Structure 1
């Protein structure tokens, strides 16, 4: 099924494409009032205000006061721009480097999860985009690295470590619209269930 965010066909991620930086041949001719960062920031604002279903390059151009065609000096497709906006929103988080000094790893994991919940509440369009596109931008990789560091502190080994990482990341990305409807206490309980499972896995490993 093709979703609002799904390109519906095979495409390279903007983070892997050679043209993710505006080529020199474009920079010399591109509208001087624009740059990719400004366009991405405007995309985030428009998605927050109007939602993913109403987003279009024409609406974005109107927001910026330019023609729709001028945007294509900086991005090849709308999907590239949505990927850039997704990673920009993820950059609004402050992933902990690891458990706070003197605190066990579950404290850090709860903080990471709550921060991600806040992101989903503030930017409802992040959830469907996270499911439609690969999360391989710099901010997405920083978040993933923070999760890996927390699980390192849990003393897990594969396959338990891989399973724990998958369970936490799938839970957070899969919350979607539910996170806006469910009370925060229910979200915290779900995170506690995940933590209990990780702790049980680590205990089995410790017993050999």
Structure 2
């Protein structure tokens, strides 16, 4: 199983690594037809097809029709590609960009409806890409799409009106619920997930300053 780094190894996230000011070799020596975006797309495709345990730079290079060394023009290590693929998967989510009291962008009712949509979207990513869950535990997951997801979740929790310990508790409950999906997404029926999500949201509503007043939202449907 792939881990973030070997024991005793210090590694910088691909999202934090400084880019070199200039290539070490002449640009004309770089393999043609490759770029980081194409390599990341191929990485996601290979992970979906073969799984995390079988992923290697050699297999990726074969899928792209290049030599394994060609890939190192664009990333320093296999772990860099896994981080890029992880964030690419989170790019499939469409987090809400605005929260209005009593209404949500694209339909629904307030923050409960948006939180339902966000959580169900997260579950779909885990179901479509089984390798995502273990990588979220292995890497810091701080790419742009992951940060957009976290920002959307923070906005939804802000919209609840909860503050201090209650706000912290709600964030912890939602985060643990979503991360827990990684181990159960292929075992628990979606209906069970939706029921658990309704219970979670009802608990947050009960702690909200409104005293848990009805929001008019419909229960989550599988």
User: TM-score, normalization: structure 1?
Assistant: 0.90
Partner of 2:2: 4
Question: Against the structure 1 CA distance between its residues 26 and 94, is the aligned structure 2 distance closer, same or farther, given a 3 Å change threshold?
Answer: farther
CA distance in 2, matches of 1:92, 1:4: 23
Q: 1:159 to 1:23 in 2, by over 3 A?
A: farther
Mean Cα deviation higher: 118-127 or 100-109: 100-109
The answer for the alignment partner of 2:24 in structure 1 is 25
Which residue of 2 is the match for residue 70 of structure 1?
A: 70
Distance of aligned partners of 1:149 and 1:27 in 2 relative to their CA distance in 1, 3 Å threshold: farther
Consecutive unaligned residues of structure 2, counting only runs of 5 or more, are 213-222
Distance 1:39 1:23, change over 3 A: farther
Structure 1 position 131 matched with structure 2 position 137: yes
Name the one with the larger helix percent.
Answer: 1
In our comparison, the structure showing a higher alpha carbon Rg is 2
The correspondence of residues 189-204 of structure 1 with structure 2, limited to 5 A, is 189-203=195-209
**Which consecutive segments of 4 or more residues in structure 1 shift more than 3 A?**
21-27, 203-206
Query: Which one is further off, 102-111 or 86-95?
Result: 102-111
SS of the equivalent of 1:124 reads coil
Q: Deviations over 1:99-120 (max 9, x none)?
A: 4157221110000001111111
TM-score (norm 2): 0.84
CA distance in 1: counterparts of 2:190 and 2:5, whole angstroms: 33
RMSD: 2.1
Q: Return closer, same or farther for 1:22/1:177 CA change in 2, 3 Å cut-off.
A: farther
SS of 2:208's partner is helix
CA offset at residue 178 of structure 1? 1.0
How many residues are paired up?
Answer: 203
CA distance in 1, matches of 2:16, 2:167: 27
Change (3 A) 1:185 1:67: same
